[in-house]
A and B are shown apart, each in its own frame.
Chain A
Amino acid sequence: MTLLEVQGLSKRFGGVQAVKDVSFGVEKGTIKAVIGPNGAGKTTLFDLVSGFRAPDAGTVRLRDVPVQGRPPHAIAALGMSRTFQNIKLFGHMTALENVMVGRHVRSRAGFLGGMLQPPGTRREEREIALAALEAMDFLGVRELADAPAGSLAYGQQRAVELARALAGGPEILLLDEPAAGLNMRETADLAKLVVRIRDRGVTVLLVEHDMSLVMGICDEVVVLCFGEKIAEAAPRDVQRNPDVVRVYLGE
């Protein structure tokens, strides 16, 4: 079953065609990567898919629901979660509070509930905390629960951000350059983690620079160059694709 389907997606910024007529699908339960040299339009593509930018043309369908042009919070409510290239934690909140925000889409208490604290809201609050702690457990950062997020080390921040993205139980998780700033060993750990996330039943779409991460774990790879898709295949085949080799290594 195709969980996410992108068709004919295009976005232009002034004179730059950042994304041009890109189409691909992500099968449920798989790991898919979007790779390409700097400026290939990977992050723009992510922003179009997750609702941070509206496309000029094309459609994005999540579980067959068209979501292009919808605001990010509405797309998140349909089961999409994401992380950011430059980790965006809520620095003045604790790690646990950060992860609890990740549960926002799966909870409902509003202003009145928050102020009056009826039993239903309290119960929901406990559920939010439990789900958040479970996600932190999964990432191995439960002991950081009470630490201010702004004070954490870089690798810990990445883990907390991932826990936050998972706490809402998304169908699909978008990872924007998750290996940025990690050393080889940490990247290897991340690869195992992404596989564990997939095994949890979460479909993963990631944008990445680091080939070692992509080639080892992805089921399929989309290669972008100057906003256009130049290849889509299994990692092994992509490596042999002459266009891809030319883009990465030069002629």
Chain B
Amino acid sequence: MRLPRRVQVGAFAAAVVGVQLLAQAAGKGFFLTQLTMTAYYTLVVLGLSLLMGYAGQISLGQAGFFAIGGYTTAALTTLDLSPHRGQALVGALARARVLAARPDLFGGEVLSVEPWVAFALAVGLGAAVAVAIGIPVLRLKGHYLAMATLAFGTIVSSVLVGTQALGAADGISGVPAFALVPGLRVSGSSADRLRNYYLAWGLVAAAMWLLLNLIHSRIGRALGAIHGAEDAARAMGVDVARLKLQTFVLAAVMATVAGSLLTHYNGGIGPSEASVLKSVRYVAVVAVGGMGSLWGTLAASSVLNFLSLRGYFGTWDDAVFGAILVLVMLFAPEGILHANLRAVLRPLGIGRGGEEGA
């Protein structure tokens, strides 16, 4: 397992290509849609994996950050300012390309915020909220931190459901495509399906590369030190509060980016994305993948989110993730993909044991 990082990420990229070819060859090209969505959810859990597994902090509010990203993007890009076109400010913003015009369904023209601008604002807002929440909340530990972040998620969720301007229970639809560069746009139309699959998984690969670099750097060692013996870390000059906050913000930004892009891909967002059950689901995926294992989290997220999005869990969807979390905590607190699971299952008479590794 001590392969160089670029070999690991290269193998992952090959797997991404392999899955795409396999899906096409099997005549299941439509799978790519759910796989693309899976990639965005994977971005969320990779950030959470860093926060939980390396910084030792839990967050039950990641869905809140995802929703901040998604709703900011949705609200700004569907806002129609064309009736105010005559006003000086609106005109100036349009000339500065902060606003962009596009045709609507009825042959008219919609003037709303350019997706790049909306994206930047969404990420900025997510980061700002993470700093504002993180400074007081990260003083807490264990259950108390879990409760506080849970409360944050609940607040975001309630505010969204209760705000008519944000579509209340219906959410926001009609979000336009996001033209990243000419020829590449985040959009759910089937013509863009293949490109979006590679875009989304390319982002996951890039995130993986950056996070793997990070955990093997000075910061990664400092995070490990905090996890191992906080007092000793402080005595060695590690600013614990600052590092925890930065990690919290990084995880929040990853959730915000995912929320914003997936909202463009889906063409809308609803309040269920902000629900606490989603946050529990993210924590469950990290737990399955194993604390402190980015690759484990990636694998767990790919499988579980894809199965969920394909509807294999039916109406039991949320229950499945809750049950997974309980079972993992009971029988494999190190994560299912951790070799310890065998040692746990063998006495129960499950599995034969035998070959090593996992």
List residues of A whose CB falls within 8 A of some B CB. Answer: 50, 52, 71-73, 76-77, 81-82, 84, 88-93, 97-98, 100-102, 104-105, 107, 109-111, 113-117, 121, 124-125, 128, 164-165, 168
Contacts and interface: CB of A to CB of B under 8 A. Distances in A.
Contacts of A114: 213-214, 217-220
A176 to B, nearest CB: 10
19 contacts: A50-B235, A52-B234, A72-B234, A72-B235, A73-B240, A89-B228, A90-B227, A91-B228, A93-B224, A93-B228, A101-B233, A104-B237, A104-B238, A111-B246, A113-B217, A114-B219, A116-B213, A164-B232, A168-B237
Nearest to B249: A111
Nearest to A110: B219
B: interface residue count bin = 20 to 34
B218 A92 contact: no
Contacts of B222: 101, 104
B84 to A, nearest CB: 39
A228 to B, nearest CB: 26
B6 to A, nearest CB: 11
B137 to A, nearest CB: 19
B221 interface: yes
B229 interface: yes
Contacts of B232: 84, 88-90, 164
Contacts of A109: 217-219
B317 interface: no
Interface string B206-249: 00001101100111111011011101111111111000001000
B239 A93 contact: no
A246 B184 CA distance: 84
Nearest to A77: B237
Nearest to B250: A111
A100 B217 CA distance: 10
A192 to B, nearest CB: 24
A88 B250 contact: no
B237 A105 contact: yes
Contact of B236 (A71, A121, A128, A164): A164
- Which of the listed residues B235, B238, B239, B240 has the most CB atoms from chain A within 10 Å of its own CB? B235
Contact of A168 (B220, B229, B236): B236
Contacts of B211: 115
Contact of B229 (A73, A90, A128): A90
Given A76-B236, A164-B236, A89 B217 contact: no
Contacts of A121: 217
A93 B221 contact: yes
Contact of A125 (B218, B229, B234): B218
A131 to B, nearest CB: 12
- Which of the listed residues A90, A121, A125, A164 has the most CB atoms from chain B within 10 Å of its own CB? A90
A230 B233 CA distance: 34
Interface of B: 210-211, 213-214, 217-222, 224-225, 227-229, 231-240, 246, 250
A72 B232 CA distance: 10
A93 B225 contact: yes
B281 to A, nearest CB: 26
A89 B229 contact: yes
A113 B246 CA distance: 13
B93 to A, nearest CB: 31
Nearest to B226: A90
A41 B189 CA distance: 71
Given A88-B232, A113-B217, 12 more contacts: A50-B235, A71-B239, A72-B235, A76-B234, A98-B225, A104-B221, A104-B225, A104-B236, A105-B237, A111-B246, A111-B250, A165-B235
A116 to B, nearest CB: 7
Contacts of A110: 219, 246
- Which of the listed residues B213, B218, B225, B236 has the most CB atoms from chain A within 10 Å of its own CB? B236
Nearest to B234: A72
A83 B180 CA distance: 52
CB-based closest 9 A-B pairs: A90-B228, A114-B217, A105-B237, A76-B237, A88-B232, A115-B210, A88-B229, A72-B234, A114-B219
Contacts of A82: 235
Contacts of A124: 218
A16 to B, nearest CB: 22
B236 A102 contact: yes
Contacts of B214: 111, 114-115
Contacts of B233: 90, 101
B244 to A, nearest CB: 12
A81 B231 contact: no
Nearest to B219: A114
A121 B210 CA distance: 14
Contacts of A92: 224, 227-228
A124 B218 CA distance: 9
A117 B217 contact: yes
B231 A88 contact: yes
Contacts of A91: 228-229
- Which of the listed residues A72, A98, A121, A125 has the most CB atoms from chain B within 10 Å of its own CB? A72
B105 to A, nearest CB: 42
Contacts of B210: 115-116
Nearest to A174: B235
Contacts of A89: 228-229, 232
A98 B210 CA distance: 23
B3 to A, nearest CB: 17
